[in-house]
């Protein structure tokens, strides 16, 4: 499965949970959601529609070195399970669950390698703040939007790993954090920085971020 497909599965998954905004949800639902992740893939995108550059792209791993290493590591870790999943069962609950687990593990690995996460996979707030403010949010308007997004997403309560899922346990925080940051950044994008192409309009509609500075 390609990186792009992996990515959009998780975006769709997390999107649903973030939008639902119910932090009391049980961790169980993190992997057991019955949403149609796979089929929503096309609309779910983490491309930025705010500002001239796609600043959020490969957040924390701009040169992609950790990503390549982590794909290999995670693939190896999951090799035994993935190997016994027949192709026709790609959309079975179990297969979807494994795919989601892989995705959480992959991002945890990437975050750790880039030092954005601590040893246990939780957010290193100091590092993330410094990194974001120096590397991602360069222009003044970006810093304003970014600072606000960081303040929210670094303190957000994320859905924990389901306690009964002991196999291939990972810390699912980083995926959720990244989505939070993207969503906040895009939602609070100043009017004059908003890209107006069809794709972006669609994304904004989907995430209900038509109106700027509404928060
Ligand atoms: C978090 O990152 C800072 C560097 O910004 C580092 O000094 C610190 O040791 C890190 N904390 C942990 C718990 O890894």
- Please, which pLDDT band fits residue 12 given cuts at 50, 70 and 90? low
Residue 127's pLDDT is what? 97
Could you tell me the two tokens for 119?
Answer: 């040893």
- Per-residue pLDDT at 133 exceeds 60: yes
The answer to whether 50 and 184 are in contact (CB under 8 A) is: no
Q: Which domains does the chain have, with CATH numbers?
A: 3-213 (1.10.238)
Per 3-state DSSP, the chain is made up of helix, strand and coil in percentages (nearest 5) of 60, 0, 40
This model's pTM is above 0.85: no
CA of 113 to the centre of ligand 1 (A): 13
Among 127, 150, 173, name the best residue to mutate to test ligand 1's pocket (greatest count of ligand atoms within 8 A of Cβ): 127
CA of 115 to the centre of ligand 1 (A): 8
The answer to whether 149 and 163 are in contact (CB under 8 A) is: no
The answer to whether 202 and 43 are in contact (CB under 8 A) is: yes
Residues 6+ apart with CB under 8 A from 104: 10, 161, 170, 171, 172, 174, 175
The answer to whether 13 and 33 are in contact (CB under 8 A) is: yes
- Per-residue pLDDT at 148 exceeds 90: yes
For 53-86, write each residue's pLDDT tens digit.
888 778 888 888 898 899 999 988 888 655 555 5
- Per-residue pLDDT at 15 exceeds 70: no
Across the chain, what does the average pLDDT equal? 79
Rounded to whole angstroms, how far apart are CA atoms 215 and 106?
32
């Amino acid at each position: 499965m390609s990186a792009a497909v992996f990515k959009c599965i998780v975006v769709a998954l997390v999107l649903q949970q973030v939008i639902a905004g119910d932090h009391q949800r049980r961790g169980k639902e993190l992997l057991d959601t019955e949403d149609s992740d796979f089929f929503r893939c096309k609309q779910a995108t983490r491309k930025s529609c705010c500002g001239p550059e796609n600043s959020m792209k490969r957040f924390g791993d701009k040169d992609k070195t950790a990503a390549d290493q982590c794909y290999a590591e995670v693939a190896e870790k999951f090799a035994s399970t993935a190997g016994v999943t027949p192709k026709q069962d790609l959309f079975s609950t179990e297969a979807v669950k494994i795919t989601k687990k892989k995705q959480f593990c992959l991002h945890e690995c990437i975050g750790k390698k880039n030092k954005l996460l601590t040893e246990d996979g939780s957010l290193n707030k100091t590092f993330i703040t410094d990194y974001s403010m120096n590397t991602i949010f360069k222009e003044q308007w970006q810093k304003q939007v970014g600072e606000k997004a960081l303040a929210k997403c670094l303190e957000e309560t994320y859905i924990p790993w389901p306690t009964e899922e002991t196999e291939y346990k990972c810390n699912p925080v980083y995926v959720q954090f990244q989505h939070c940051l993207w969503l906040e950044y895009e939602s609070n994008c100043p009017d004059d920085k908003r890209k107006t192409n069809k794709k972006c309009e669609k994304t904004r509609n989907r995430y209900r971020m038509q109106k700027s500075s509404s928060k």
